[in-house]
A and B are shown apart, each in its own frame.
Chain A
Amino acid sequence: MIWDPIILTFQLAFITTVILIIISIPISYWLAYTRSTVKPVIETIVSMPLVLPPTVLGFYLLVAFSPSNAFGNWLDHTFGLRLVFSFEGLVLASVIYSLPFMVHPIQSGLSNLSTSLKEASYLMGKSRTSTLFQVLLPNIKPSLITGIVLAFAHTVGEFGVVLMIGGSIPGQTRVASIAIYDEVESLNYDIANSYSMILFAVTFVILFAVYTINGGFLKRFWE
């Protein structure tokens, strides 16, 4: 079925984005406010996927999760979790790969907020958590949206990591970018073109939305 890779791609992007929101908020919060000396180390690790070739990341994940090595074997036996050539593995790889695209906007949004907002809330007796959710996050909506959209779009567009750790199992790991590659290899230019068009259009729409929102054009409809 021609739509399978497209649906799989968006499933992967959606799940990855949801997981990223959950884990990036605490990471960004910590990075924005910590004075710890290990901050540069954590920042570097989070940012690595920006510069590292995706195949490097994919290669190490492949080695780590392969059932033929001790860790992969343990995962397989204890949890029945096989992370190579599986959808779960793809999700994990995508989360790591797209992490900086979610963390950076939220972190810079939080650091740009006046610290007095946070302090005012504390002095009203509000806990850190309720300050985060009721005061800080609502005031960095554009950063949150940027993070969500970028992480989603970036996951849609990934190729190298998926190729290394996912392979091309139809309905499981054969996402659109892989499908395009396969179809071109088999000289099915028509099908490759259809996938490409869809990805092109969707990516355009998503990025266009980000720039419009951040440019403030949508603000009046937003409130």
Chain B
Amino acid sequence: MIQFNVQKKLDAPGGEMLLDLQGEFPQGQLITIFGESGAGKTSLLRIFAGLLMPETGKIIVNQQTWFDNRKGINLSPQKRKIGFVFQDYALFPNMTVQKNIEFAAKNRQNKKEITDLFDLFNLGELLNKKPETLSGGQKQRVALARAIASKPEILMLDEPLSALDHVMRSKLQDYILTVHKKYNLTTFLVSHDVGEIFKMADKVIVLDNGKITNQGTPSEVFSNKHISGKFQFTGEIIRIEKEDVIYVVTVLIGNSMVKVVSEEKEIHQFSIGDKVLVASKAFNPIIQKIQSK
């Protein structure tokens, strides 16, 4: 359980902003932090990680006090057991991929666990390369592997996927989900992609101007009504075509395109670029094997 109630004044582009955050997260959830840029998303992560000191308040993680300004407690980042993936990845340029990960894992003896990590992230061919020679997606993978290498209890990802294309993005989302479950982590992910949040998050907190304005499951937060259909996706409208008396709406969901039929009376509310919820009942789709494991 992570309980926090912290306040800090920040210098924001639009003048001073008061960050005033309180909440409670059970362990083992994947929590996304959503909000406009400058809303305080990164600052929230940095406060949890001990990289930014709040002026007042408390942070208590599993009954251990990490920060309490009244008692003068401020646990150093070194002791917080956090794996952090920075926006710029922060791979050490002087070390190879392997050295980067081993450096993070230095405190643990089990060599097998480290080679398991290399396998899990398919790093085999990259091990002897320097970070500067890697592509964005590869850097991301290494940064994620390195964040896990120090055996954290909490994983924090500061908008790591925003610079990647759709295919890369969806692969890395899968990596994140895999490690989140495999290592039983509490994961915080900064994201402003609603589709990504629906795919990944147990919980989403919405930040606006330094305050939490909304929180809950992705469907509680993003679809104002709960729909019983179990075959639900969110995507973006990329095309609307009239065919006969109906309309075919093409929606990009993750990296696949799907088509949904709509009709005259409802089509006027849609335009290209809109984020939409596509829902059907679990009874309708058929399922077919395409490859055996």
Chain A residue nearest to B143 in the complex (CB): A120
Q: Are A114 and B92 in contact (CB under 8 A)?
A: no
Instruction: Convert B199-219 into 0s and 1s, putting 1 for each residue whose CB lies closer than 8 angstroms to a CB of A.
Output: 000000000000000000000
Is B228's beta carbon under 8 Å from chain A? no
Contacts of B92 in A (CB 8 A): 117, 120-121, 135, 139
Is B86's beta carbon under 8 Å from chain A? yes
Contacts of A124 in B (CB 8 A): 103-104, 106, 150
Interface centre among A123, A125, A134 (most CB of B within 10 A): A123
Query: A120 is contacted by which of B80, B86, B94, B107 (Cβ under 8 Å)?
Result: B86
A141 to B93, CA, bound (A): 11
Contacts A123-B49, A124-B150 given: A114-B88 contact, CB under 8 Å? yes
Is A116's beta carbon under 8 Å from chain B? yes
Is A122's beta carbon under 8 Å from chain B? yes
Contacts of A134 in B (CB 8 A): 103
Is B82's beta carbon under 8 Å from chain A? yes
Is A119's beta carbon under 8 Å from chain B? yes
Q: Are A116 and B78 in contact (CB under 8 A)?
A: no
Q: Are B78 and A114 in contact (CB under 8 A)?
A: no
Is B232's beta carbon under 8 Å from chain A? no
Contacts A124-B104, A124-B150, A139-B94 given: A119-B78 contact, CB under 8 Å? no
Is A127's beta carbon under 8 Å from chain B? yes
Q: Are B78 and A139 in contact (CB under 8 A)?
A: no
Q: Are A126 and B88 in contact (CB under 8 A)?
A: no
Query: A127 is contacted by which of B49, B78, B82, B93 (Cβ under 8 Å)?
Result: B78
Nearest chain B CB to A69 CB, angstrom units: 47
Chain B residue nearest to A137 in the complex (CB): B94
Give A129-163 interface residues, CB cut-off 8 Å to B: 134-135, 138-139, 141
Query: Majority SS of interface residues in chain B?
Result: loop
Contacts of B76 in A (CB 8 A): 122
Query: A125 is contacted by which of B86, B88, B90, B150 (Cβ under 8 Å)?
Result: B150
Is B258's beta carbon under 8 Å from chain A? no
Is B84's beta carbon under 8 Å from chain A? yes
Is B134's beta carbon under 8 Å from chain A? no
Query: Majority SS of interface residues in chain A?
Result: helix
Q: Are B90 and A116 in contact (CB under 8 A)?
A: yes
Contacts of B49 in A (CB 8 A): 119, 123
Nearest chain A CB to B78 CB, angstrom units: 5
A135 to B131, CA, bound (A): 14
Interface size on A, residues (CB 8 A): 17
Contacts of B77 in A (CB 8 A): 119, 122-123
A127 to B76, CA, bound (A): 10
A125 to B82, CA, bound (A): 9
Chain B residue nearest to A118 in the complex (CB): B90
Q: Are B78 and A126 in contact (CB under 8 A)?
A: yes
Contacts of A119 in B (CB 8 A): 49, 51, 77, 84, 86, 90
Is B40's beta carbon under 8 Å from chain A? no
A212 to B95, CA, bound (A): 23
Q: Are A123 and B80 in contact (CB under 8 A)?
A: yes
Nearest chain A CB to B105 CB, angstrom units: 8
Q: Are A120 and B78 in contact (CB under 8 A)?
A: no
Contacts of A114 in B (CB 8 A): 88, 90
Nearest chain A CB to B75 CB, angstrom units: 12
Is B83's beta carbon under 8 Å from chain A? yes
A86 to B86, CA, bound (A): 54
Contacts of B80 in A (CB 8 A): 123
A134 to B106, CA, bound (A): 13
Chain A residue nearest to B156 in the complex (CB): A123
A139 to B130, CA, bound (A): 12
Nearest chain A CB to B217 CB, angstrom units: 29
Instruction: Convert A77-120 into 0s and 1s, putting 1 for each residue whose CB lies closer than 8 angstroms to a CB of B.
Output: 00000000000000000000000000000000000001011011
Nearest chain B CB to A53 CB, angstrom units: 41
Complex A-B: 13 CB contacts under 8 Å: A116-B88, A119-B77, A119-B90, A120-B92, A122-B51, A122-B78, A123-B77, A124-B104, A125-B79, A125-B107, A138-B94, A139-B92, A141-B94
Q: Given contacts A116-B87, A125-B150, A139-B93, could you give 4 more A-B pairs where the C-beta distance is less than 8 Å?
A: A116-B88, A119-B86, A127-B78, A141-B94
